[in-house]
């Protein structure tokens, strides 16, 4: 995406993209900048700013930007008054090579509001260092743009081989030094009179990433707060026609009791074509005069509220604009909103990517580009809208006439039509909502953004998601892992729904479903299959405590239903302590005593109460018994209670603990239509509680890694002239076995020593060098890993055996190159693989090696990066994992060695996203360790840089 005011760069005949990413690329032409340096970013106040490299045509913008800076800002940047920039300086700053000198500008509405630049210090004998400086327009200072420019300059510098930044700062400008320090860099400072010399490495340390993520979290939460907590709302496209969408939106906002001003915008007067009255009653075409045109005046008000022709005509500030005009008119609306300073847009209009047409998709992309260029955020298009039940806001900017009452549950979904049904279901079940966002096509604001908001929202205790796709899977995993530690996230998610159409056409759906399930489990997300199950869990999490253990007691007046609940509970991982059958004629006192006893029993962690009235009688006594027992003062701690009260779903009136506003609050008892659903919800609550009880495992870097050497090697490999994939000239390539092993060594991963040989003499010499016994192996893919081991000759004791094996394999396989490898200790064959999935990002898998296990899909999957606990769980994930634990008396494998290997491979891929695939197969796991026999690495350009570098919006 380029800034609309920036000219389109001409095509360049200079070095290829592959050369540009090498360790020492050739200087680029002024227009030939890396396109992935373009980014939309969020400022600290939640507004959007566009970043891109500078080009020569920015000269006038730079001069104008400089002229608007205050004298003090110019003095702090240039160490002098500098009222104007000399033409030579303008030319130098706008004509850069994007290697030794890189400049990035911050743009808003086509105007330059900030600029950062670095210049290599090779001429000063510091080839690894560059001097950095930046300046922000006075009115945009304090928005966090300095640290953002610094991040993106550091990312560009690292790609160009620089490892350090230096800066000269006036002693009277401590704010600039604070920018470097607060960004997470470890500074070294020296003073020279009136200036401070600052130096720091730009490698992404854990501290640096922590600061980056914290700032990202704050800015994204602020941008969503601007959306959900507006002080004023404009409805653009408000209509006097009750059948129009704009009329319904305005009516819902008014009926919801929004606490701020509402401004209808109904556009200019309309010119309509009318029929000449003389035409009526005449059948002859000759008697008809030309059609008459008439002007329909713009209504001065809509629903009794004064209406305006455009947003810019509104005299007061506007925070949120809800847009309900045809897609063809949205462009004009955006321009008006920029002039007015609107912060966020909700576009309910359809006709964009939802149309399924290429033109609609292109219009949607253009819409997002324009919205962000104007500094705004967008919900939609094709959205149902947003709602906030906070009494201080009381916003219902949705097409749903009724939304659930206030509560502690936040809800995010995409589909507008589904959203109305979801809201209706929540209302019927008495699930109170704090906030609701229906993102429609999710062109900008996504579930990740809203998660960042809910993380710090004191009004939200439970989060519900209906996910049709992962927008940024890596980021979703990172955010949800953090949020799940304090707030349960319940998600309806189908792997098939996450796939792109291309992926869906060529991939096995089960693969994606399994990855989705395991990724959500890794992040602590409770996954359900249907919307009814979503609200089953929501009712429990919103109103009852989490179980402290797996022990459940089932109490009821039906042995059959009690048995169903017990079976379901056991299959869900709960331990059924006992089943108490009170009989069909149980009284109120018996129910209360039984439940009270369970509440006092330290051997019971949760309770399922099954109640079916034997005859059609008033069952209020059952509700009284449950409520009384749940609130006994001498209970053994808080315990969740679920019931099947008259097969009612939700929170029945008799089981409601009313809050100050009369609505259900925590302590209300949820009811379910069947005992199976009650037990299933309780089982999911225990699984989540157990996940929260796990020790929080941080991500640590293994010792003995050299990321800089590895990164340099990958860049050189990508720039090699023989990088071909599918016959096309690209920077993506499969590394040889020797190069793959070399790359892994920089991360402390040793492949069992081997030599590539092409003659009998080389084979014999290699075997003597490695030491007997050795193996001779074929190298072509069709012979590697075969169960019959026809492609390998093992345990060769001497040179004669090696020569004979070489001759046999050469004739059998036709391979020109064979491997001679030192024999490794016998063990269980395992496989570790990292691959880039189009729906889920980089995924690491573990399983036993061999086509049988591959065919059965017996592998575990996790998102990268791995924590130590993730690695341990991944090893135990496959159903065949008991073979590693000493199956039937065999010696157990060294799992610690496998954990270490997983963490090192995860760190490699996390450090160097250009590593697109790693396959270590087989890895012999034995009591003596884990021996990697074969490794294959594929490297190439990063297809999606989201969450792998400086902060940026999708």
Residue-wise pLDDT for 923-934, tens only, equals 999 999 999 999
> Once rounded to an integer, what is the mean pLDDT over residues 328-352?
90
**pLDDT > 90 in the chain, percent:** 64
For 240-275, the pLDDT digits (tens) are: 999 999 999 999 999 999 999 999 999 875 555 554
Task: Spell out the residues 6+ positions from residue 369 whose beta carbon is closer than 8 angstroms to its own.
Answer: 1, 4
Please give the helix or strand (H or E) that residue 48 lies within, else none: strand 48-53
**Superfamily (CATH) of domain 17-202:** Gcn5-related N-acetyltransferase (GNAT) (3.40.630.30)
**Cβ neighbours, 10 Å, residue 883:** 18
Instruction: Work out the angle at residue 42's Cα, subtended by the Cα atoms of residues 701 and 372, and round it to the nearest 5 degrees.
Output: 135
Q: Residue 875 half-sphere exposure, CB side, CA atoms within 13 Å?
A: 26
Model confidence at 585, in pLDDT bands (50, 70, 90)? confident
Model confidence at 725, in pLDDT bands (50, 70, 90)? very low
Torsion sign, CA atoms 931, 716, 202, 199: positive
Task: Spell out the residues 6+ positions from residue 907 whose beta carbon is closer than 8 angstroms to its own.
Answer: 701, 702, 705, 747, 865
Query: What are the phi and psi torsion angles at 570 (to 5°)?
Result: -65, -45
Please give the helix or strand (H or E) that residue 398 lies within, else none: strand 395-398
Euclidean distance between CA atoms 592 and 594, whole angstroms? 6
Euclidean distance between CA atoms 639 and 675, whole angstroms? 18
CATH of range 545-693; options 3.40.1190.10, 3.40.50.300, 3.40.50.261, 2.30.42.10:
3.40.50.261
For the record, the structure tokens of 803 come out as: 């020569």
DSSP state of 637: S
At residue 295, does pLDDT exceed 90? no
Query: What are the phi and psi torsion angles at 385 (to 5°)?
Result: 130, -170
At residue 772, does pLDDT exceed 90? yes
At residue 721, does pLDDT exceed 70? no
Any idea where the domains of the chain sit in the sequence? 17-202, 545-693, 706-752+826-954, 753-823
For tokens 């705004």, name the residue. 376
pLDDT at 729: 39
At residue 49, does pLDDT exceed 50? yes
Euclidean distance between CA atoms 539 and 533, whole angstroms? 10
**Cβ-contact 574, 607 below 8 angstroms:** no
For 207-245, the pLDDT digits (tens) are: 778 888 899 999 999 999 999 999 999 999 999 999 999
Euclidean distance between CA atoms 740 and 883, whole angstroms? 29
Torsion sign, CA atoms 49, 52, 57, 63: positive
> Once rounded to an integer, what is the mean pLDDT over residues 645-655?
87
DSSP one-letter string for 285-323: GGGPPPPEEEEEPPPSEETTEE-BSSGGG-SS--SEEEE
pLDDT at 764: 95
At residue 6, does pLDDT exceed 60? no
For 460-507, the pLDDT digits (tens) are: 999 999 987 766 777 888 899 999 999 999 998 654 444 334 334 333
> Once rounded to an integer, what is the mean pLDDT over residues 573-588?
92
Model confidence at 18, in pLDDT bands (50, 70, 90)? very low
At residue 679, does pLDDT exceed 80? yes
For the record, the structure tokens of 610 come out as: 């099954």
Euclidean distance between CA atoms 130 and 782, whole angstroms? 49
Across the chain, mean pLDDT equals 87
> Once rounded to an integer, what is the mean pLDDT over residues 294-310?
85
Query: What are the phi and psi torsion angles at 818 (to 5°)?
Result: -120, 165
Euclidean distance between CA atoms 22 and 715, whole angstroms? 4
* Most confident range, picked from 77-86, 159-168, 271-280, 760-769: 760-769
* Most confident range, picked from 144-153, 355-364, 943-952: 144-153
**Cβ neighbours, 10 Å, residue 97:** 17
CA distances (Å), origin 443, targets 363, 375, 893, 929: 11, 15, 48, 48
Rounded to 10 deg, the angle between the 358-373 and 330-340 helix axes is 10
At residue 646, does pLDDT exceed 50? yes
> Once rounded to an integer, what is the mean pLDDT over residues 764-770?
95
At residue 762, does pLDDT exceed 70? yes
CATH of range 706-752+826-954; options 3.40.50.300, 3.30.390.50, 3.30.470.20, 1.10.150.130:
3.30.470.20
For 599-616, the pLDDT digits (tens) are: 999 999 999 999 887 665
For 796-830, the pLDDT digits (tens) are: 999 999 999 999 999 999 999 999 999 999 999 99
> Once rounded to an integer, what is the mean pLDDT over residues 70-92?
92
For 731-743, the pLDDT digits (tens) are: 679 999 999 999 9
pLDDT at 11: 38
Model confidence at 81, in pLDDT bands (50, 70, 90)? confident
**Cβ-contact 610, 675 below 8 angstroms:** yes
Model confidence at 17, in pLDDT bands (50, 70, 90)? very low
Euclidean distance between CA atoms 752 and 770, whole angstroms? 10
Query: What are the phi and psi torsion angles at 697 (to 5°)?
Result: -95, 115
Euclidean distance between CA atoms 498 and 467, whole angstroms? 8
Q: Following CA atoms 528, 450, 40, 501 in sequence, which dihedral angle do they give, to the nearest 10 degrees?
A: 20
> Once rounded to an integer, what is the mean pLDDT over residues 710-720?
87
Query: What are the phi and psi torsion angles at 128 (to 5°)?
Result: -95, -5
For 842-877, the pLDDT digits (tens) are: 899 999 998 778 878 899 999 888 999 999 999 999
**395-398 sheet: strands from edge to edge:** 395-398, 385-388, 433-438, 406-413, 462-467, 489-493, 526-528
* Most confident range, picked from 83-87, 516-520, 705-709, 762-766: 762-766
pLDDT at 220: 96
Instruction: Put residue 935 in one of left, alpha, beta given phi > 0 → left and psi -120 to 50 → alpha.
Output: beta
At residue 632, does pLDDT exceed 80? yes
CA distances (Å), origin 773, targets 31, 309, 755: 59, 87, 14
One fold for 706-752+826-954 and 753-823: no
CA gyration radius for the chain? 33
pLDDT at 354: 83
pLDDT at 293: 57
At residue 561, does pLDDT exceed 80? yes
CATH of range 753-823; options 2.60.200.30, 3.30.1490.20, 3.40.50.2300, 1.10.730.10:
3.30.1490.20
pLDDT at 916: 92
Euclidean distance between CA atoms 752 and 766, whole angstroms? 14
Report H helices in 432-500.
Answer: 447-456, 473-483, 495-498
């Amino acid at each position: 995406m380029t800034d609309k005011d920036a000219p389109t760069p001409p095509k360049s005949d200079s070095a290829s993209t592959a050369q540009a990413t090498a360790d020492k690329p050739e200087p680029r032409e002024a227009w030939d900048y890396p396109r992935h340096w373009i980014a939309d970013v969020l400022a600290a106040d939640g507004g959007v700013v566009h970043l891109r490299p500078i080009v020569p045509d920015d000269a006038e913008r730079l001069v104008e930007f400089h002229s608007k800076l205050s004298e003090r800002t110019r003095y702090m940047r240039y160490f002098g008054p500098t009222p104007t920039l000399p033409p030579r300086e303008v030319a130098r700053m706008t004509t850069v090579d994007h290697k030794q000198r890189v400049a990035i500008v911050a743009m808003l509405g086509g105007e330059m509001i900030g600029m950062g630049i670095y210049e290599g210090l090779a001429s000063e004998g510091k080839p690894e260092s560059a001097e950095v400086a930046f300046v922000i327009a006075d009115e945009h200072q304090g928005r966090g743009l300095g640290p953002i420019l610094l991040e993106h300059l550091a990312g560009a510098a690292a790609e160009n081989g620089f490892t350090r930044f230096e800066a000269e700062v006036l002693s009277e400008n401590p704010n600039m030094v604070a920018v470097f320090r607060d960004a997470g860099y470890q500074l070294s400072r020296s003073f020279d009179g009136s200036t401070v010399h600052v130096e720091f490495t730009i490698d992404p340390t854990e501290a640096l990433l922590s600061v980056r993520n914290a700032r990202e979290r704050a800015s994204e939460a602020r941008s969503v707060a601007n959306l959900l907590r507006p002080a004023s709302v404009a409805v653009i496209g408000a209509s006097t026609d009750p059948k129009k969408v704009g009329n319904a939106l305005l009516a819902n906002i008014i009926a919801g009791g929004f606490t701020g001003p509402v401004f209808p915008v109904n556009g200019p007067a309309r010119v309509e074509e009318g029929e000449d009255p003389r035409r009526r009653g005449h059948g002859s075409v000759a008697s008809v005069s030309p059609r008459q045109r008439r002007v329909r005046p713009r209504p001065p008000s809509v629903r009794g509220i004064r209406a305006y022709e455009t947003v810019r005509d509104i005299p007061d500030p506007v925070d949120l604009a809800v847009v309900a005009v045809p897609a063809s008119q949205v462009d004009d609306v955006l321009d008006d909103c920029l002039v007015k300073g609107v912060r966020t847009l909700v576009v309910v209009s359809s006709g964009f990517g939802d149309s399924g047409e290429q033109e609609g998709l292109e219009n949607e992309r253009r819409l997002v580009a324009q919205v962000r260029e104007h500094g705004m955020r967008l919900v939609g298009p094709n959205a149902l809208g947003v709602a906030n039940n906070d009494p201080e806001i009381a916003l219902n900017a949705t097409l749903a006439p009724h939304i659930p009452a206030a509560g502690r549950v936040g809800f995010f979904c995409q589909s507008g039509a589904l959203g109305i049904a979801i809201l209706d279901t929540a209302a019927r079940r008495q699930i109170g909502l704090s906030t609701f966002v229906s993102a429609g096509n999710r062109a900008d604001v996504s579930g990740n953004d809203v998660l960042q908001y809910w993380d710090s929202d004191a009004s939200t205790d439970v989060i519900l998601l209906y996910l049709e796709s992962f927008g940024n899977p890596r980021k979703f995993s990172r955010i949800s892992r953090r949020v799940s530690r304090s707030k349960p996230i319940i998600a309806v998610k189908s792997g098939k729904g996450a796939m792109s159409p291309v992926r869906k056409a060529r991939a096995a759906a089960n693969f994606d479903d399994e990855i989705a399930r395991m990724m959500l489990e890794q992040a602590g997300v409770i996954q359900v299959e249907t919307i009814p199950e979503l609200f089953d869990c929501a009712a429990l999490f919103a109103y009852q405590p989490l179980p402290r253990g797996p022990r459940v007691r089932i109490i009821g007046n039906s042995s059959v239903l009690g048995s169903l609940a017990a079976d379901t509970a056991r299959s869900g991982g709960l331990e059924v302590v006992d089943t108490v059958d009170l009989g069909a004629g149980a009284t109120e006192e018996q129910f209360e005593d039984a439940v009270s006893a369970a509440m006092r029993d330290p051997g019971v962690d949760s309770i399922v109460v099954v109640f079916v009235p034997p005859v059609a009688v008033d069952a209020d006594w059952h509700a009284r018994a449950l409520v009384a027992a749940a609130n006994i003062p001498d209970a053994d701690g808080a315990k969740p209670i679920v019931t099947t009260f008259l097969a009612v779903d939700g929170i029945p009136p008799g089981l409601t603990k009313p809050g100050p506003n009369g609505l259900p609050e925590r302590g209300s008892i949820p009811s379910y239509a069947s005992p199976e659903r009650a037990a299933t919800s309780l089982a999911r609550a225990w699984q989540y509680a157990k996940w929260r009880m796990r020790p929080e495992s941080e991500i640590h870097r293994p010792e003995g890694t050299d990321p800089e050497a590895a990164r340099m090697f990958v860049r050189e490999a990508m720039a090699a002239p023989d990088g071909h994939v599918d016959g096309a000239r690209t920077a993506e390539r499969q590394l040889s076995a020797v190069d793959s092993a070399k790359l892994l060594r920089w991360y402390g991963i040793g492949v069992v020593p081997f030599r590539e040989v092409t003659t009998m003499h080389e084979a014999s010499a290699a075997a003597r060098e490695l030491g007997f016994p050795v193996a001779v192996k074929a190298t072509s893919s069709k012979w590697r890993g075969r169960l019959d081991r026809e492609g390998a000759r093992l345990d060769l004791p001497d040179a004669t055996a090696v020569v004979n094996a070489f001759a046999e394999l050469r004739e059998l396989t036709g391979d020109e190159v064979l491997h001679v490898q030192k024999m490794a200790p016998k063990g269980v064959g395992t496989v570790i693989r990292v691959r880039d999935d189009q729906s889920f990002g980089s995924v690491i898998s573990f399983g036993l090696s061999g086509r049988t296990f591959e065919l059965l899909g017996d592998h575990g999957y996790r998102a990268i990066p791995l924590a130590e606990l993730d690695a341990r769980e991944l090893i135990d994930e496959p159903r065949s994992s008991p073979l590693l634990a000493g199956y039937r008396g065999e010696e157990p494998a060294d799992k610690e060695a496998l954990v270490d290997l997983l963490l090192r491979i995860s760190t490699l891929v996390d450090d160097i996203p250009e590593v697109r695939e790693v396959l270590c197969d087989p890895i012999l796991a034995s009591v003596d360790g884990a021996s990697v026999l074969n490794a294959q690495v594929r490297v190439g350009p990063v297809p999606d840089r989201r969450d792998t570098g400086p902060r940026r919006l999708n």
